[in-house]
Amino acid sequence: MPSTPSPTATTPSSALGRVLRSRWLLALGFAAAHAWVISLAVSWSYTIFGDVTLYEWWARHGLTGGQWPVLDYDWVYPALALAPVGFPAFLTQDQSQVMIGSWEASGYQIVWTAVIVVLNAIATVVLVRRTPHGLVAAWWWLAFLVALGPIWVGRLDGVVAPFILVALVLASERPALATAIATAGAWIKIAPGAVVVAIAATRHRLRDLLRDVIVPGAVVSVVVVGLALLGGAGTRALSVFGEQGARTLQAESVAATWFSVLRLADPSVRIEYNDVIFTYEVQGSAARQVASALDWLLPVAVVAIAALTWWCARRRPDHSTDLMLLGAAAQLLALIVFNKVGSPQFIAWIGPPLAAAIALAGPGTRRLWWPPAVGVLVTAYATWLIYPMAYGEFLGGDPAMVAVGALRNLALVVLLAGAVWRIVQLGLRDPARIVAAPARS
């Protein structure tokens, strides 16, 4: 007869579970993951920190010449982006360089990187302390950041991703605070506004909508715009909303996939460098027509997903948390899929909804999040393969990298379709056939 393990026997799975539940080990994992990604960023130097160099130029020009983005001229970013762009320059008044390996880093770049790490640390602590499954979610979050590679370190998206994560974690129990955080993030880069839309879509009464969304969002917006106006911005306080109009399709955007694949057989399809906005774009009238169509398709998609989420939340208020998470994920994916700008750092937006869902999803729906969680990790890694690993090959039409780009973009479309389908499923299914998640709204 086989022996029966004693109640105190330790199985491999239980031992692994205890190890993964160790907060000290998580702290070590956090340090190791960020050290690894930052070392990659340093090894790629200007490829990753090129935008940070531009941020520093804007900030130094403001400090020395008194000419600030938004306040004195139109800018591609919202007004509050001046805070993370300007902060490292205030702390490093001189422009001395420090050698890190073969990379000559400025004090600005070092402080910028430290700010990114601190924001991620805050988001990870909130994720662990405020949710029942935060440790597992935090490990997934670290895996996502490693899979995405170093691109998020050198972009404003690395600043706003923690805003998205913290707002989603707090949205169920403190929706007004979550709205304020997401609104502040949206005034740095627009993507966190998707969280505000998702929270609004799950408010069932006008009183709740006013208290949880409209008032906190308006207060933050009035403060940001008011400060910009006091600084002399005038109408430039809202200039970001007109800055993308003249752009055509970015080479790696989802909508550019057809053109990217077509150039393997048709050399007349061209990708050229735009030296005004420093990016590669698909040229030609067809690409411009698609880009023009996306200008109105994107807001239509955002409104349609919000309306669908609202309708399903009205039918299933017991799943308000799950629908808020799905709505946010769908909104953020739509901001990528229907966007003529397809920068690789945008993928940093879709990690937070998955991390929050792993930590917060109701017991009847938690298992539904694991397939997309794996899909997002694969999508993040494919993005790293394209940029910075083989961006030159991708732009040059290397068949293998064009295929990776096409499959990555297809995965984004599938993830969006899956999120929308899950919203519909939760809204339509019989409550008796699904274990209800605790209502937290």
Average pLDDT of the residues in 394-413 = 97
**At 426, is the secondary structure helix, strand, or coil?**
helix
Q: Is 90 exceeded by the pLDDT of residue 432?
A: no
**pLDDT tens digit string along 321-377?**
999 999 999 999 999 999 999 899 999 999 999 999 999 977 777 788 999 999 999
The H-or-E segment that residue 280 falls in is strand 279-282
Count of domains in the chain?
1
**pLDDT tens digit string along 1-44?**
444 444 444 455 556 666 667 889 999 999 999 999 999 999 99
Q: Is 60 exceeded by the pLDDT of residue 436?
A: no
Bridge partners of residue 250, in order along the sequence: 281
Q: Is 70 exceeded by the pLDDT of residue 100?
A: no
Neighbouring residues of 54: CB distance < 8 A, sequence distance ≥ 6: 278
**pLDDT tens digit string along 119-143?**
999 999 999 999 989 999 999 999 9
Q: Are 269 and 282 in contact (CB under 8 A)?
A: yes
| pTM (2 d.p.) | 0.92
Residue 367 falls inside a structural domain: yes
Q: Is 90 exceeded by the pLDDT of residue 415?
A: yes
Provide the angle, in degrees to the nearest 10, between the axes of the packed helices 107-130 and 82-91: 120
Token couple for 327: 């709505």
* Model confidence band, residue 146 (pLDDT cutoffs 50, 70, 90): very high
Q: What is the pLDDT of residue 2?
A: 46
Q: Tell me the pLDDT of the chain averaged across its residues.
A: 90
Q: What is the pLDDT of residue 45?
A: 87
Residue 75 falls inside a structural domain: yes
Give backbone dihedrals phi and psi of 170, rounded to 5 degrees, phi first: -85, -10
- Of 429 and 190, the structure prediction assigns the larger pLDDT to 190
Q: What is the pLDDT of residue 102?
A: 57
Q: Is 80 exceeded by the pLDDT of residue 265?
A: yes
Distance CA 325, CA 199 (A): 9
Q: What is the pLDDT of residue 16?
A: 60
DSSP 129-152: HHSTTHHHHHHHHHHHHHHHGGGG
**pLDDT tens digit string along 69-96?**
999 999 989 999 999 999 999 998 766 6
Q: Which residues of 419-429 are buried (b: 16+ CB within 10 A; e: fewer)?
A: bbebbeebbee
Neighbouring residues of 280: CB distance < 8 A, sequence distance ≥ 6: 250, 251, 271, 272, 273, 274, 395
The H-or-E segment that residue 103 falls in is strand 103-106
Residue 393 falls inside a structural domain: yes
Residue 372 falls inside a structural domain: yes
Judged by average pLDDT, the poorest of 169-183, 291-305, 365-379 is: 365-379
**pLDDT tens digit string along 161-175?**
999 999 999 999 999
Between the alpha carbon of residue 354 and those of residues 69, 215, 360, 366, 378, the distances in Å are 34, 27, 10, 11, 13
Distance CA 91, CA 161 (A): 23
Residue 424 falls inside a structural domain: yes
Q: Is 80 exceeded by the pLDDT of residue 393?
A: yes
User: Residue 342 corresponds to which amino acid?
Assistant: G
Question: How many helices (H) and strands (E) would you count in the chain?
Answer: 18, 4
Neighbouring residues of 228: CB distance < 8 A, sequence distance ≥ 6: 70, 71, 79, 236, 237
Distance CA 421, CA 418 (A): 5
Residue 11 falls inside a structural domain: no
* Model confidence band, residue 430 (pLDDT cutoffs 50, 70, 90): low
Q: What is the pLDDT of residue 48?
A: 95
Residue 408 falls inside a structural domain: yes
Between the alpha carbon of residue 107 and those of residues 95, 150, 246, 293, the distances in Å are 7, 19, 35, 43
Among 309, 404, 385, smallest CA distance to 353 is for 309
Q: What is the pLDDT of residue 205?
A: 92
User: Residue 188 corresponds to which amino acid?
Assistant: I
Q: What is the pLDDT of residue 6?
A: 46
Give backbone dihedrals phi and psi of 300, rounded to 5 degrees, phi first: -65, -45
Range of the domain at 193: 24-433
Residue 10 falls inside a structural domain: no
